[in-house]
Structures are given as structure tokens and as C-alpha cells.
Amino acid sequence: MKNLFKLLDLTKEEIIDILDLAEQLKYERKHNISHKVLDGQKIGMIFEKASTRTRVSFEVGITELGATALFLSSADLQIGRGEPIQDTARVLGRYLDGIMIRTFKQETVEKLADFAAIPVINGLTDFSHPCQILADLMTVREYKTSFDGLKLAYVGDGNNICNSLVVGALKVGMQVSVAIPTGYEPDERVLEFAKQYDCFEMTTKPEIAVKNADVIVTDVWTSMGQEAETKAREQAFKGYCLTTELLEAANKDYMVLHCLPAHREEEISTQVFEDNAKYIFEEAENRLHAQKAVMVKLFKK
Ligand code: CP
Ligand code: NVA
């Protein structure tokens, strides 16, 4: 593993290795055991979109691994004024040991890595959010102890979260069912991958997806960059809301995950959100541990 672009690039074993290391790092942090294995390194964090969790968890993680984090917002960088990513990459590659980037196009992440010649981590694109899904898988395993025999359901937009979730959950061996309105399906590359699995199902009906599910996931109807479509999306996603009534069809000890930020009474009811807050905020914490594991794997010299 040289970079983290998307979960499609990882084997099941690589995913499990990251989760195992993340668990170990979580244990060490809890017991004040220092793990400054990236001592002295300089890691850049490029943001072309807003962020709370990704920004803070990466910066804290980098610091805890003994490295220095540089927050690089596109509002301040020359990329915000049109400097090509190829040039930015060739400059940053000479200063830094690694880069995390949150951007729009998946190709930007891969181009950055090509030209910078240092490891690059995808901190969210329009296509994928691998760091989030590693944290989600870590949270599922933490509460359910294993992935064996679990059914995961996703209700909502076939967006970056859905794309990465379908791939990650299928790779680790879960049954996956997604409920998505027509016209908002996951990316073609993801559907092509999912087609190989008999245990993958896509429907337009949330009640079918959540039936007997152990893990239920949703995300916002309108992602960053799609704000102009908000009204049309509110129409299209009516009924794609995790409510207590809908979840009656799920398995008794189900858990709900949400990457956050959440829009209450849109994709999730306030009741369901609060009933599942312990899982959702553990999931947010696990971003830190999962990303530290990825950074150790990619940046440790
Ligand atoms: N879930 C997630 O990536 O959150 P932020 O947008 O706050 O980073
Ligand atoms: N789908 C959301 C995820 C935010 C973490 C977005 O891209 O805005």
C-alpha cells in the first residue's frame, strides 16, 4: 500500500490489518502509551471543502504520532487561484513527507500523488471517503465483534459515503443492501464491483433494505458541492429517512451509523439519532484511530 485513494484498491487483508492496528493505537492512547513513530515528519493537510472531523482528527493524529501537521486551505493556497495541482504537488513533495487531501475530483488525489512522489491519503472526494468507512468498519467490529453473518443496510444518496461503504462492507464479508431513489445510484465502478457478490442488493425501498439489518447507515441528501440541487434532492429523498418505525423491520440489536454532519428530520429522525448517539460518536472518535493506522502504514519510514 503506497497511498490511500479508495477502498477498491485495498484487499480484505489490508483493510483488516488497518483495523487491527487502529484498535491497538486506540488501546495505547487510552493507556497513555506513546507511539511517536512518525517522529519529525511533516504532513500537509489540503482542504478544498469544509471539515470538522477530518481536519481535527488528522491534526491530532499527526501530532500524537510525533509529526507536524500543516493545515493548507485552498482559500489560502495558490490552487484556490488556479495554480495547477501538478505544480503544487511538485513543490509540496519537496517539503513534506506525506499529504492528506479533501477535494472534489478523485483524479485530483491521484494526480497529486503522481506528481508529489510522496504518499497521499484521500480525505474525501465526490467519489469516495475511505477514511470514514475504515472508521465505520472499526466501529461495527468493536460492537459486533466480527463481520460474519452481518447485514448492513444503507438508505439514501448513492454518494461518496455509499460508494466506499458498499465496497468496504462487501470486502470484509458483510451482506449489503442499499435503498436509493432512481437517478441517485452509486458510481458505475462500485456497481460493477458489487455485481460479483450474491449478497449485494439494490432497491428503491428503504423497508426492503433495512429488513433484518444489523447495521444501518445513512448520509445527507445533499453533499458538499451539490448545494444548487438542494430543492430537487429534498423531493427525491422524501421517505428516505431513518425513523423508529422504519427500523422496526431491522434486527433487534441493530446499530445506526452516520458519518456526520447529520440533518435531523431529513435523512435521520432526531429520535433515531439520539438513540444511536453512542455508536455515532464512537464512529466519529474512530476516525482518529483508523487514520493514525493508515498514516503509520503509509508514512512510517
Ligand atoms: N465525516 C466527516 O468527514 O466529517 P467532516 O466533514 O467534518 O470532516
Ligand atoms: N456525503 C457528504 C459527506 C460529508 C462527510 C459530503 O460529501 O458532503
Q: What is the pLDDT of residues 40-86, one digit of tens each?
A: 999 999 999 999 999 999 999 999 999 999 999 999 999 999 999 99
Q: Is the CB of 159 under 6 A from ligand 2?
A: yes
pTM of the model: 0.98
Q: Is the CB of 224 under 6 A from ligand 2?
A: yes
Residue by residue, DSSP assigns 47-58 as ESS--SHHHHHH
Per-residue pLDDT in tens (0 to 9) along the chain, 301 residues: 999 999 999 999 999 999 999 999 999 999 999 999 999 999 999 999 999 999 999 999 999 999 999 999 999 999 999 999 999 999 999 999 999 999 999 999 999 999 999 999 999 999 999 999 999 999 999 999 999 999 999 999 999 999 999 999 999 999 999 999 999 999 999 999 999 999 999 999 999 999 999 999 999 999 999 999 999 999 999 999 999 999 999 999 999 999 999 999 999 999 999 999 999 999 999 999 999 999 999 999 9
Which atom of ligand 2 lies closest to the CA of 225?
Answer: 8
Residue by residue, DSSP assigns 154-213 as EES--SHHHHHHHHHHHHHT-EEEEE--TT-PPPHHHHHHHTT-TTEEEES-HHHHHTT-
Q: Which residues contact 72 (CB under 8 A, 6 or more apart)?
A: 44, 45, 46, 47
Residue from 45, 46, 54, 258 whose mutation best tests the ligand 1 pocket (most atoms within 8 A of CB): 54
**10 C-alpha to center of ligand 2: Å?**
22
Residues paired with 5 in a beta bridge: none
**198 C-alpha to center of ligand 1: Å?**
32
Widest distance between CA atoms in the chain: 55
Q: Whose CA is nearest to atom 4 of ligand 1?
A: 53
Which atom of ligand 1 lies closest to the CA of 131?
Answer: 3
- Tens of pLDDT, residue by residue over 125-167, are 999 999 999 999 999 999 999 999 999 999 999 999 999 999 9
Is the Cβ–Cβ distance between 220 and 160 less than 8 Å?
A: no
Q: Which residues contact 261 (CB under 8 A, 6 or more apart)?
A: 52, 220
Sign of CA dihedral 270, 274, 275, 280: positive
Q: Whose CA is nearest to atom 1 of ligand 2?
A: 223
Annotated catalytic residue, options 219, 233, 289, 291: 219
CA distances from 118 to 5, 72, 85, 208 (A): 13, 16, 14, 44
Q: Is the CB of 259 under 6 A from ligand 2?
A: yes
